[in-house]
Amino acid sequence: MTSFENVSVIKQANIYFDGKVTSRTVLFHDGSRKTLGIMLPGEYEFGTAAAEVMEMLAGEMDVLLPGQDAWRTYKRGETFDVPANSKFKLKVMTVVDYCCSYKE
């Protein structure tokens, strides 16, 4: 199993949409930050501050990225980039396990 070594984990969860989207924050020695999260089936809109790379660890969802007019399906093993200070929409079909890396 892949793991992140010698990191810090913030104990308290980040909880959104009545718990249908939750994550834990992982802090790295180089100052970088990731969240490991779960999204239950549903439709969501998120806003970014920093740019992000979303990596799909499990599940399937449709994504509408900013500036695009077509939804695209992402599955386990795939990644997509989200620009800073933008909004994107998700339709989660099956429980999504993800890793979000912040570029800042």
Residues that bind a second copy (CB under 8 A): 1-13, 15, 18-20, 22, 24, 26-27, 36, 38, 40, 57-58, 95, 97, 99
Listed residue (75, 79, 92, 94) closest to 34, CA to CA: 79
Give min distance, CB of 67 to a second copy, in A. 30
Nearer to a second copy, 4 or 71 (CB): 4
HEC states along 20-55?
CEEEEEEECCCCCEEEEEEECCEEEEEECCCEEEEE
> At closest approach, how far in Å is the CB of 104 from a second copy?
18
